[in-house]
Structures are given as C-alpha cells and as structure tokens.
C-alpha cells in the first residue's frame, strides 16, 4: 500500500511553519500535531511577536490540538517539530501524554535530551527527520541576524 503520510510528509508541513516564523523575524521553528493522519494543529514560534517566552511552536500546537479534540490529552497524537523540544515544551508534552514526538534537528544545548527532561512513559521520541532542512533554516536565520547587527 502506498503511504503518502509518512514522517517526512508531516515534517515538511512543520518546516513550512518554521518558514512562516522566519518571515516574521522569529527564530524559525515550526510544529504540527497529527491525529489519524490528519493535521489538527499547526503553529510556529511567536515569542517576539507576542512578547512571551511561552509562545514556542509546540506550546501553541498543544493548546490548539486539545482545543480541536475537546480534551486536554493527546494520547493518540504525534507532534512533528523541526527542532528538538526544550524543557518547557517537553514538560508540557509530558502532561499531554502524547503518543509520539518526532523532531528534526537536535538542540544539544537546550533540548530535552541533554537536559534530561522526563517524558511520559507512554511517549515515543524519534529524531532526525529532515534534520538538515531544519538546522539549515536556523543557521541561515542567525547568520542573517549577525550580518544585520
């Protein structure tokens, strides 16, 4: 059977969100949440626009997905996020009991893996999907920022 809805397919959607963040001069990180092969939430980093450190892509996606589902648990959902979640987002994902987290590139410094953030025992964490694209977008953003200053 042909399966068009693979991890790369949904990560591309998350990358589109990251590009939308870039266009707003936000650190380019994007996320989507998928349930039954349907995207139920899309979000990108808005910390500058909203003046709010909690406005990471994942946080907004969690809120939007729960709103769509009419319940606060995301037990049968998968989050696709272009960069490995931070402690805050991984902590929120813990509470959501999400089924799967798929990230693109690692965040060695501030990501949940290096910082040992506890995930829900039922949550599976996978990484490396379209990591070059995710990481290049981030690098390009910071190079551009440096050149402007």
39 near its own copies, rule: CB under 8 A: no
Rounded Cα distance, 130 and 134, in Å: 6
Regarding 79 and contact with its own copies (CB under 8 A), the answer is no
Stretch that binds its own copies, among 23-31, 35-43, 87-95, 129-137 (CB under 8 A): 87-95
Contact between 25 and its own copies by CB under 8 A: the answer reads no
* From 96, 101, 111, 133, residue interacting with its own copies (rule: CB under 8 A): 96
Query: 138 phi and psi, to 5 degrees?
Result: -65, -45
Could you tell me which stretch among 12-20, 75-83, 89-97, 128-136 binds its own copies (CB under 8 A)?
A: 89-97
- Residue 100 lies near its own copies (rule: CB under 8 A): no
Q: How far apart are CA 132 and CA 122, in angstroms?
A: 28
3-class secondary-structure state, position 91 = helix
The answer to the question of residue 67 lying near its own copies (CB under 8 A) is yes
Using CB under 8 A, which of the segments 30-38, 56-64, 127-135, 140-148 binds its own copies?
Answer: 56-64
Contact status: 124 vs its own copies (CB under 8 A): no
Q: What is the C-alpha to C-alpha distance for residues 27 and 86, in angstroms, rounded to an integer?
A: 14
Nearest to 123 by CA among 67, 87, 79, 71: 79
Contact of 147 with 92, CB cutoff 8 Å: no
């Amino acid at each position: 059977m042909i399966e068009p809805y693979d991890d790369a397919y949904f990560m591309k959607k998350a990358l589109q969100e990251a590009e939308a963040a870039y266009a707003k001069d936000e650190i380019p990180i994007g996320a989507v949440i998928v349930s039954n092969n349907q995207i139920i939430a899309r979000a990108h980093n808005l910390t500058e626009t909203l003046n709010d450190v909690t406005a990471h892509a994942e946080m907004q996606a969690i809120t939007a997905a729960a709103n769509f589902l009419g319940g606060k648990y995301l037990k049968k959902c998968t989050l696709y996020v272009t960069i490995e979640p931070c402690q805050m987002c991984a902590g929120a994902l813990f509470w959501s009991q999400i089924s799967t987290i798929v990230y693109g590139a690692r965040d060695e410094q501030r990501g949940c893996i290096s910082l040992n953030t506890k995930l829900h025992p039922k949550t599976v964490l996978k990484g490396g999907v379209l990591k070059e694209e995710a990481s290049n977008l981030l690098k390009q953003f910071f190079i551009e920022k440096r050149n402007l200053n």
